[in-house]
Amino acid sequence: MNTTRTLFILALGAGLSAAGGYWAAQHALPSPVNTHVAGIASAAERQILYYRAPDKAPFWSAVPKQDQQGRPYMPVYDDEEPSFDPQRPQAQAAKGERKILYYRNPMGLPDTSPVPKKDGMGMDYIPVYEGDEADDGNVIKVSLDRVQRSGVRTEPAETRVLVQPVRAVGTVAVDESKLTVVAMRSAGYIEDLFVNTAGQTVRAGEPLFRVYSPDIVNAQIDLRISLGAVQRGVSGTDMSQSVNGAMQRLRNLGVPESRIKDVRDSGTNPRTLDWASPATGVVLSKRVINGQRVEAGDELYRIADLSTVWVIADVAEADVGLLKVGTPAQVTFRAYPNEPAEGRVTLIYPEVKAETRTARVRIEVPNPDGRLKADMYADVVFRAAADGTPVVAVPNSAVIDSGSQQIVLVARGEGRFEPRSVKLGRRGDGYREVRDGVREGEEVVTAATFLIDAESNLRAALKTFTQDEPGRKEASR
């Protein structure tokens, strides 16, 4: 009996203690369940834009998901999304610097609002200020912060003389104007050779060979006879003319003045004559041997002055019109690739090769050390300036070429860029001539043009899509 009573008292105490704890929990401490519900209710008042990876990796999702470790993506609310605009529209309006007329859709859709708002993706509508509404359809607007981050650079369109490079391949040739042929004006016999191989370098006045010529010997005899008659006291016009005539015959036979003077002064009649070189240069060919009989007019030696050489370049027919006499050229020889030489065009030959449709252009190049050899290959770059007239030009990087149209982005300040269709001319030195579309002094975008062009194309595509939408709906009816 006592045991039963004791158990009853213990059970009643435990029940009262549980009831008291429940009442205290309900009236003194907030319930964890209620706290969670309150958090859900608070979060429901904010709009979730997207979900990001829990480890801050560059991964996002439009719907709730988990990463590979099973961790849930974290929601990003509208009030947590950072803005890349240089200033909020409300703050700009508060300053009162410019009047805001309306707000336009950030994706270029034909939708405006008189008050600030967001589109379906949570993006702020862009304010349109007074004075900008006329350009809104043609001008691309990019925030100044984005312009700086994208590396946009501009350069003014300037007037300059464009030098267009024309490339060709050529070969070295001997300067024909500095070629000398050695030939006798009378028949004779070669008794000795002083220059007996081709390729030797000779100087003007150095003996080439020793020759016996009966015609020269007979002319010397006539001179001695005439001089003897004068010395014997025979005077008269005929004797003086005879002396002058004998001297002239020796000159006509190619006898140098020094030899004629020796004959007059010494009164001797030398049998042979050492024939002197008429020019300084390199012997290109030798067509005489010791003991040979030569006739008047036979070519015995061919001597070339190689202090300057020609480079004959084959220029494409389409580029010939850009060249003229005096056009500078840079010539790089295959034998000396690191030592380009400077030259100028001296002649454009009057014919075009039918097989290759190329014209020959002659360039004169100095060769003071004689390293350049005939028939060497050379790469030629002509710096053609056409007529030399200055033209308005922009850098090549400023031109966006779609194949059928060329566009230049003109910077209008404050992050505004206007695409303009241009007509282009010749090119040179990294620039393109602009014949129409851009004026001198206007700033054009030279770097990051593809970023601005991409935004322009996106806007145009969206606008075209929305304009075609009513037509498609009408067709579906």
The yes-or-no verdict on residue 188 having pLDDT over 50 is yes
Measure the CA–CA gap between 381 and 232, rounded to whole angstroms. Answer: 73
Task: Determine contact, residues 310/175, Cβ cutoff 8 Å.
Answer: yes
| ∠ CA 189-193-195, rounded to 5° | 140
Mean pLDDT within 226-231: 80
Beta strands 126-129; 406-413: pairing state: unpaired
Distance, in Å, from the CA atom of 455 to the CA atom of 167, rounded to the nearest integer, reads 39
Question: Which of 455-462's residues contact partners 24+ apart within 8 Å by CB, and which partners?
Answer: 455/140, 455/142, 456/140, 456/419, 458/107, 458/108, 459/107, 459/108, 459/140, 460/108, 462/107, 462/108, 462/109
pLDDT attached to residue 27:
43
Domains 149-159+390-473 and 165-175+305-384 share a fold: no
Question: What's the chain's length in residues?
Answer: 477
Nearest to 392 by CA among 410, 377, 404: 410
According to the model, what pLDDT value does residue 17 have?
Answer: 44
> What is the tens place of the pLDDT at every residue in 340-350?
999 999 999 99
Mean pLDDT of 442-463: 63
Instruction: Name which residue leads in pLDDT, 24 or 96.
Output: 96
Which pLDDT value is given to residue 445?
84
Q: What is the mean pLDDT of residues 295-312?
A: 94
User: In degrees rounded to 5, what are phi and psi of residue 246?
Assistant: -65, -40
Q: Does 302 have pLDDT greater than 90?
A: yes
Range 149-159+390-473: architecture per CATH: Beta Barrel (2.40)
Q: Residue 398: pLDDT above 60?
A: yes
In sequence order, what are the residues at sequence separation of 6 or more whose Cβ sits closer than 8 angstroms to the Cβ of residue 340?
330, 331, 332
CA dist 138 and 456 (Å) reads 9
The mean-pLDDT minimum among 116-120, 174-178, 362-366 falls in 116-120
> Does the pLDDT of residue 8 top 50, yes or no?
no
Quick check: 459 pLDDT over 80?
no
Domain positions in the chain are 46-82, 89-133, 149-159+390-473, 165-175+305-384, 185-297
> How high does pLDDT run on average in the chain?
77
pLDDT at site 439: 87
Q: What pLDDT does 134 receive?
A: 45
pLDDT in tens, 155-175: 888 888 887 889 999 999 999
Query: At residue 65, does pLDDT exceed 90?
Result: no
Please give the pLDDT value at position 289. Answer: 93
pLDDT over 50 (residue 461)? no
**pLDDT category of residue 387 using cuts at 50, 70 and 90:** low
- Write the pLDDT tens digit of every residue in 125-157: 888 776 555 444 567 666 666 666 667 788 888
Topology of 165-175+305-384 in CATH? Elongation Factor Tu (Ef-tu); domain 3 (2.40.30)
**CA distances (Å), origin 173, targets 320, 331, 367, 451:** 20, 13, 12, 53
Indicate if the pLDDT at residue 78 is higher than 90.
no
What is the average per-residue pLDDT within 367-387? 87
Could you identify the residue written with the tokens 């005489």? 288
